[in-house]
Every structure is written in C-alpha cells, then in structure tokens.
Amino acid sequence: MSIKLKAITNPPSREELSNRLEKVRTLMKQQDLDYYISFNPVNIYYLTNFAFYVHERPFLLIIEKESSPKMLIPRLEKGHFESRARCELEFVIYYEFPARNGENWYDYYQKQIRTDATVGLESELPIGIANKTPGKIVVSDIVDETRIIKTDYEIGRIYHACRVVNKGHKVLFKKCRPKVLEFALYKEVTDAMMSKIVQDIPNANFRATQTTGAVWPPSISHDPHLIPHIFKEMEQGGPHVSIVSAQVDGYGVEIERTFFLGHVPEKAIKPFGVMFEARTLTYSMLKPGTIMSEVDKKVRNFIAERGYGDYIIHRTGHGLGITGHEAPFLAEGYDKPLEKNMVISVEPGIYIPGIGGFRHSDTVLITEEGFQKLTKAPETLEEVTISL
C-alpha cells in the first residue's frame, strides 16, 4: 500500500532545525558529552542550513549541552552565513587564516571549551583540529547517526529531489541513441534538471546543488567507477548503464538503469535477469526490523548461486539524505535493522568484463509496512530496450 507524499521545496523551519539539534543533544546526554564539535560541512548544513566548502579557514559548530550552539567562522563568511542559517546561533569570529599571534582560529576555539570537559568529535574531524581541542576527547558520529532517520520535512524534500532525477532520466532515455556523445547527453540531462531546480526553488543554494547525468556504454559498463570520456560514443545494443543523480538544494538522490539501444545481445539476457531477480529479492526484504547485513548476504548468495558471484563488486545499497552516499548501508558488516523513514538505494549489481554491467538503482523510502520507491523509470528488459 503506497502512502501519499508531498513534495516540499521551502527551506527548513526553525522548528525543524531545533528538533534536529534536540536529537543531537539527546545522544550527547546518553554519551555523557559536555560539548560536541562538528566540522563536516554536511553535518553543519543539516543543523544550520548553511552550506560551504571546506578550505584552509576552519568552520566549526560547537554544541553545548544547553545554551545556543556557537559557530566559529572567519570574518569574511559572516554575511554569507547569516543569509542562509535558519537557527539560533552565537558567532565566534576570527579574522583570517593564518593570523597574528594570539588571533588564530584556535585561540578563539580553545576559549569556548572548558579544559575539564568531555568533548565529542566526528570521526571526520581533521587531526590538526582534534589536537587543538581542550578537554577529554571522545570520537562519536552523533550527527551522522541523527541523520539516518528522516523527518517528514526531509522526506518531502527527498521526494521533490526524486522528481528532478526522474525528469533527468526521462530526457536521458529520449536522447540516448547510438553515436550520441557522452558530453552531449551530460549537457541535456543536467540542463533539464537544473532548469527544474531553478523553477521550483528560485532561491536554491548552489553550494548544496549539483547534477550529474552520464552513461557507461557497453565497452566500459563493467567498470562502474571509471569516469567515461566526454567524447565517448553511445553504442548499438548494450548493456549501457546510466547514472542520473542530483543534490537538489541540499537533498541527494539517484536513479540508475541498465538499458539497450535497438537490441539485447544474447549474452546479456541471463545476467540482466539475475540482476532483476536480485533486485526483486532485495525489495521483498525491505521492511522495518530486517537486518541490513542480512539483505546484502542473501542477495550476494542468490547472485552467486546463479553463477555470478565473482562479478559482484559493491554492496546492495546505501543511505541517501543531505548527501547521495551515507549511512545506513545494505552491506555485510552493517548489522543494524531497517527502520521506518530511512531512505536507501537498492542497487544489486553484476559486472562482467567483456559483457558489461547490470545495475538498476532507485531511491527508496522505508515505510511502516515495507517500502516505497521514490524514483520512477522503466524497469523490465522490454521497457529498457529502446527501439531505434
């Protein structure tokens, strides 16, 4: 039974952000942390709505147990920060990197933290910053953990982002014909998505917006992380494998398809079928309570039984949210249960040198009763064989 979702395009309310902060503070309490320091721009965006690139001038969010969080930023960024942040914050401003003796970022940073405190740090925090942190350090990925279960607001944003990639994928299938260049496809697909983003969210934050549209034609589709050459040509037959992904004003989603131009080579029929069944098997297990490593294990075993065990080169799926790749993971070694309002990709894949790659990926919401696909595009062998 499918639930009714509503696409959301407006920025988060102060309430949404303060609820996220409260979740972080609940975990801080459980772990007896007096402070939590966030450095990862994705986590800072999640809590403040301010997006930036990491460079030599550090940006640090200092969360205390109770009073307003403090944002340590270079002076140059204050106006930018204020134009985007949508939560309560105090600023700690340093002038520049580097700066005169006694006026560097760490001089200001160290004044914010009691030396007898227990301080939680992200595992992504650079050791150069960790070494300047006062107090007793505990590494704990509290904000990352908070991000795993999506709020209703986030689900609405992700649902909207999926409409953007659905559109990109539609353009890709329309334009992808033998001899068409990678570069031309990239332009058409990303332009279509960017137009929709700008129309739907005129004030979109381009520091948190990015679009990709690419196809791995059959000669390289067995190697999914190779970057196709921009003058690479699409070919007759297949398997071609497409990636259409976007970060839409802060929300990352993807849709990927294996497809054929004109005809399906004989040797591609069986692996396509096995990939398709592996996918059906994955979906059959998606509901709250299923252990994620078990999904991956069963899917791998299924593919191996069908003779393609040597051609599995990645996990069955990964989480999506503020980024297009994050916890949770449908992977052996990740022994936690699926929960309602997680968003994951479902993408078991088979990659056979000499034949090609076989992978569909969708962005999928875990619901109370099971799952709901948020992306939509042709799926069956018949549907993904484009007649010329």
In the complex, minimum distance from the CB of residue 179 to its own copies, in angstroms, rounded to a whole number: 17
Residue in 3, 76, 269, 304 binding its own copies, rule: CB under 8 A: 76
Toward its own copies, which CB reaches closer, 104 or 367? 104
At 55, which amino acid appears? Answer: H
Do residues 355 and 222 make contact, with C-beta atoms less than 8 angstroms apart?
Answer: yes
Toward its own copies, which CB reaches closer, 25 or 232? 232
Radius of gyration (Cα) for the chain, nearest Å? Answer: 23
Sites for its own copies among residues 156-195 (CB under 8 A): 183
Toward its own copies, which CB reaches closer, 56 or 382? 56
Q: How far apart are CA 234 and CA 238, in angstroms?
A: 9
In the complex, minimum distance from the CB of residue 5 to its own copies, in angstroms, rounded to a whole number: 27
Sites for its own copies among residues 300-319 (CB under 8 A): 313-315, 318
Residue in 115, 131, 380, 387 binding its own copies, rule: CB under 8 A: 131
In the complex, minimum distance from the CB of residue 337 to its own copies, in angstroms, rounded to a whole number: 15
Residue in 26, 203, 284, 301 binding its own copies, rule: CB under 8 A: 203
Toward its own copies, which CB reaches closer, 315 or 377? 315
Please report the DSSP string for 239-294 in residue order: EEEEEEEEEETTEEEEEEEEEEES---HHHHHHHHHHHHHHHHHHHH-STT-BHHH
Cα-flanking dihedrals φ and ψ of residue 211, to 5°? -130, 145
Residue 105 interacts with its own copies (CB under 8 A)? no
Q: Which stretch binds its own copies (CB under 8 A): 164-172, 225-233, 303-311, 360-368?
A: 225-233
Residue in 10, 19, 227, 301 binding its own copies, rule: CB under 8 A: 227
Cα-flanking dihedrals φ and ψ of residue 340, to 5°? -55, 140
- Cα 322-94-78 angle, rounded to 5 deg: 50
Q: Which stretch binds its own copies (CB under 8 A): 22-30, 196-204, 258-266, 374-382?
A: 196-204
Do residues 377 and 293 make contact, with C-beta atoms less than 8 angstroms apart?
Answer: no
Sites for its own copies among residues 356-385 (CB under 8 A): none
Toward its own copies, which CB reaches closer, 302 or 329? 329
Q: How far apart are CA 386 and CA 238, in angstroms?
A: 10
Please report the DSSP string for 323-376 in residue order: SSSEEEEESTT--PBP-TT-EEEE--EEEETTTEEEE-BEEEEE-SSSEEE---
Q: How far apart are CA 359 and CA 354, in angstroms?
A: 16
In the complex, minimum distance from the CB of residue 127 to its own copies, in angstroms, rounded to a whole number: 4
Contacts of 55 (CB under 8 A, 6+ apart): none
Residue 289 interacts with its own copies (CB under 8 A)? no
In the complex, minimum distance from the CB of residue 207 to its own copies, in angstroms, rounded to a whole number: 7
Alpha carbons within 13 A on the beta-carbon side of 141: 13
User: Contact residues for its own copies (CB under 8 A)?
Assistant: 55-56, 75-77, 79-80, 83, 96-101, 103-104, 121-131, 137, 139, 183, 198, 202-207, 223-227, 229-231, 313-315, 318, 325-327, 329, 331-334
